[in-house]
Amino acid sequence: MKRQKRKVDGWVVLDKPLGVTSTQALGKVRFALSAAKGGHGGTLDPLASGILPLAFGEATKALPYVVDASKTYRFTIRFGIETTTLDAEGTETAVSDMRPATAAIEAVLPRFLGTIDQVPPAFSAIKVDGERAYDLARAGETVDLPARAVEIHALRLIGRPDDDHATLEVDCGKGTYVRSLARDVSRLLGTVGHVVMLRRLRVGPFGAQHAVDMSCIQNLVEKTPDLLHTSPPDGILLPVVTALDDIPALAVTAEDARALKDGRAIGLPGTAQRRDGDAVVRLMAPTGLVALGRFDGPLVRPVRVFNL
């Protein structure tokens, strides 16, 4: 008998395990919840673990704000070997006997802060003439991707297990490839390297304090379904608005909320001085989140309405 899908609105912050793709992880959680609609906020490779925000129902409307959010990663570089994929999955492309001193690593890290130009890995999801770069690379084609600007907010050395390895943490903006960062740090140090461990610690507002693993999800759904709609650590589902907490909020009346849900603009007295170009505002009624909107002269127009 086919499983009945149901309306589930909110976020599950999954601690993704190694060995599964983000799409596979989403599918497993969506099946466990019998959720009618879902999406994930930022791909993690099978060889990476950590924070993977999963949006269900109305939360999928907020996915662009999560995908664009800053992220924190912890990763370990293995010096002396560079690979095709820039991680442990690839084959060797270069070797070096050079092993950098700890002081040398700490000295070069500030050079990667701010806006930098970064060449993405050939094995990435970037499209080249309509094809994914990793598909072309796996087919043996040479993939030359142009450098693009990315933001590195912080980069720190947090451990040196031995001469061959260094563990770092990075706070970065959208589109940053940690594998490319490891490659470039290694080369600047006069050697080569690749990533042997990658874990995402944060995506926007979502961190370890929100995360649940797959076994926890399955246990809750099977044994204590009432906890589905409570927050971690007792439950797993976070409200839709959780992903939008850093967007300025404006209070609206119940009447204005109805207008917004109909797609109509509203006037908010006393907000004219707060207009900021195309900045998005979060419109909140006494009952909760109504919409995201933008100013249009003296009015606020809805750009994304939530049916909660």
Give me the active site residues, please: 45
The closest alpha carbon to 27, from 17, 40, 15, 18, belongs to 40
The amino acid at 276: D
Strands (E), the chain: 10-16, 38-40, 48-56, 71-79, 81-83, 92-95, 114-118, 127-128, 131-132, 148-162, 165-172, 193-203, 249-251, 266-267, 280-285, 288-296, 299-305
CB 149, CB 116: distance < 8 Å: yes
Closest-CA residue to 304 (of 296, 292, 295, 294): 292
Angle between helices 214-223 and 22-33 (to 10 degrees): 10
Of 260, 292, 289, whose CA–CA distance to 279 is shortest? 292
Look at the block and give the residue holding tokens 């989403």: 26
Structure tokens at 284: 């909140």
